[in-house]
């Protein structure tokens, strides 16, 4: 049987942000600028990459799973800095459907994995998104959005994920809405409440 395992990594956007931080620090140190801009560029430029390394470095080096799909269920490894609060395991017996969906947040596109429980039971994951934010994801059922996790810190191999779900829970449907990649609707629009 085929399991799926995704480990934490520094993705291209994180690497680009880190590189921009280092460039800003170098510009502040090397250019002949007044004292205030130099301090801002050097301090800000170094703080950003060091913070990202502090958050993701231990997870990458430890080899902890960011997402695991096996015969027992799905393990969401959590995300820094609130990893303990967002780490969750959900057994197959509590999952009726899995939704894959994307949302555009200006320049960043985030993929989410959402779960739906059986027969109207509550979603099997504790919400990490506030209700007000969940209402802005207009293209996915609200209970699924509330029981979802973003794929921060790792790359989701959609084909391998779907194959692992099919191998371990053939009755669990995977609903792929990633082609939509809807822009997040502004809060307060009619019909979202």
Contact of 19 with 46, CB cutoff 8 Å: no
Same domain, 168 and 149: yes
What is the extent of the structural domain holding 44?
6-62
Last residue of a domain, one of 26, 41, 62: 62
Reading the block at residue 193, the tokens are 């409440």
Query: What's the chain's Rg over C-alpha atoms?
Result: 19
Taking the C-alpha atoms of residue 73 and residue 118, their distance in angstroms, rounded to an integer, is: 15
Last residue of a domain, one of 40, 62, 84: 62
Last residue of a domain, one of 62, 84, 106: 62
Same domain, 138 and 176: yes
Q: Which of 12-16, 58-62, 79-83, 168-172 has the highest mean pLDDT?
A: 168-172
How many domains does the chain divide into? 2
Tell me the pTM: 0.81
Taking the C-alpha atoms of residue 147 and residue 131, their distance in angstroms, rounded to an integer, is: 11
pLDDT at 56 over 70: yes
Taking the C-alpha atoms of residue 136 and residue 114, their distance in angstroms, rounded to an integer, is: 15
CATH number of the domain encompassing residue 108: 2.30.29
Residue 37 maps to a domain = yes
Reading the block at residue 105, the tokens are 């947040």
Same domain, 38 and 89: no
Q: What's the pLDDT tens digit per position in 121-179?
A: 767 888 888 888 888 888 888 899 999 998 988 999 999 999 999 999 999 999 999 88
Same domain, 54 and 106: no
Same domain, 44 and 69: no
Average pLDDT of the residues of the chain: 85
Same domain, 87 and 154: yes
């Amino acid at each position: 049987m085929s399991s799926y395992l995704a480990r934490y990594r520094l993705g291209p956007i994180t690497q680009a942000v880190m590189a921009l931080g280092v460039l800003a620090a170098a510009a502040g140190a090397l250019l002949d600028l007044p004292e205030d801009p130099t301090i801002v560029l050097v301090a800000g430029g170094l703080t950003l990459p060091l913070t990202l390394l502090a958050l993701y470095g231990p997870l990458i080096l430890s080899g902890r799973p960011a997402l695991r799909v096996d015969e027992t269920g799905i393990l969401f490894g959590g995300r820094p800095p609130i990893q303990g609060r967002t780490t969750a395991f959900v057994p197959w017996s509590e999952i009726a459907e899995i939704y894959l969906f994307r949302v555009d947040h200006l320049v960043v596109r985030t993929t989410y994995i959402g779960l739906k429980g059986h027969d109207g039971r509550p979603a099997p994951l504790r919400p990490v998104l506030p209700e007000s934010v969940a209402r802005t994801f207009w293209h996915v059922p609200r209970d699924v959005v509330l029981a979802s996790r973003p794929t921060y810190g790792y790359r989701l191999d959609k084909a391998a994920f779907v194959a692992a779900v099919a191998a371990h829970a053939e009755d669990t449907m995977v609903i792929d809405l990633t082609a939509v990649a809807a822009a997040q609707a502004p809060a307060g629009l009619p019909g979202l409440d």
